[in-house]
A and B are shown apart, each in its own frame.
Chain A
Amino acid sequence: MKKILFTILVVSASFALKAQELAQDQNPNYKVSMDKYTAAQATLQTTMNTTVQNTYTAYDWRIAKSKRKAENRSYRRERALSNQYYYNNNYGYRNNYNQKYYRHRCR
């Protein structure tokens, strides 16, 4: 009987202590959240005091024009390189003029 009373006393004392730890109106389940964020603290704070760059690409007339020009240039070059008649048909003779293109293709 004494033992049971002692256990009840200890348990109720521990509950009372725990209740004392809580601030006024504090959620008693605060420890669940505290443990969760304490564990993830290092990863969550990596962006602190920095600018997180999450930019998007907006239409710009100059950029669009230069991109079009680059695409056209690349297309013309590809077409020229793939044109076997003009660039590799040397009728058995060595063609020094187009040699750099030929070498480039073989790389």
Chain B
Amino acid sequence: MKQIFTIAIATSILLLASCAHKVTRIDPTETPDLSGNWNYTDSRITAEEMINQSLTGKWLSDHLQQKGKKPVVIVGFVTNKSHEHIEAETFMNDLEKSYITTEKVGLVQSGKKREEMRSEKADQQTNSTISTLKKFGLEKGADYILQGSINSIVDPYKRKKSVTYQIDLVLTNIETNEVVWIGDKKISKNIKN
């Protein structure tokens, strides 16, 4: 009787444990494809390709030859014209990081972060000591602006569909409007529901 009771309790514990919400830590580089939507693996592949294309592009050597110093880049906006919500920041940050770590390209802050920086500078004008306050008008001007777009083509048929994402990044000379580099990455998937 005692044994049956113990077994019953053990079984119920096991059953309850199996129904519980479960979270497992995984390596970000091995993100599995669950729904077929854009995921971290796609972002990582895009970042790797863009870093490789950008840092080996002719624009870099041309700029160094003409100006004698490394180019300064500012990040503009990326338009997501695909059928999914995609945040470009995930792969753009990797690209920006590569610019800094390789020390081949200089990077200046843009957007809301720049606004915050300027607001901090404004605050310093009245609150910081004279020896530590940072002056206005000494920011580094960017030579190039990095802009991009994400497009997708979906071809569904019954339970199957093929999706192709195209990510394009364009680097333009701010002074001359000349496009100096275009990087692209295409990712295709076959999804069966």
- Which residues does A use to contact B, with CB under 8 Å? 45, 47-62
Contact = CB atoms under 8 A, between A and B. Distances in A.
Given A57-B83, A61-B193, A51 B88 contact: yes
B180 interface: no
B76 A48 contact: yes
A50 B114 CA distance: 13
16 contacts: A48-B110, A48-B111, A49-B75, A49-B76, A50-B77, A51-B80, A51-B87, A53-B80, A55-B85, A56-B81, A57-B83, A58-B83, A58-B154, A59-B154, A60-B161, A61-B159
A2 B94 CA distance: 69
A54 B79 contact: yes
A-side binding surface: helix, strand, loop or mixed? loop
B166 interface: no
B77 A51 contact: yes
A45 B112 CA distance: 9
Interface in B27-47: none
A49 B81 contact: no
B84 interface: yes
A49 B74 CA distance: 9
Interface in B116-174: 150, 152, 154, 156, 158-159, 161
B156 A49 contact: no
Contacts of A50: 77-78, 89, 111-112
Given A48-B110, A51-B150, A56-B83, 19 more contacts: A45-B110, A47-B111, A48-B111, A49-B75, A50-B77, A50-B111, A51-B89, A52-B79, A53-B85, A54-B79, A55-B81, A55-B82, A56-B81, A59-B156, A59-B161, A60-B156, A61-B156, A61-B158, A61-B161
A52 B78 contact: yes
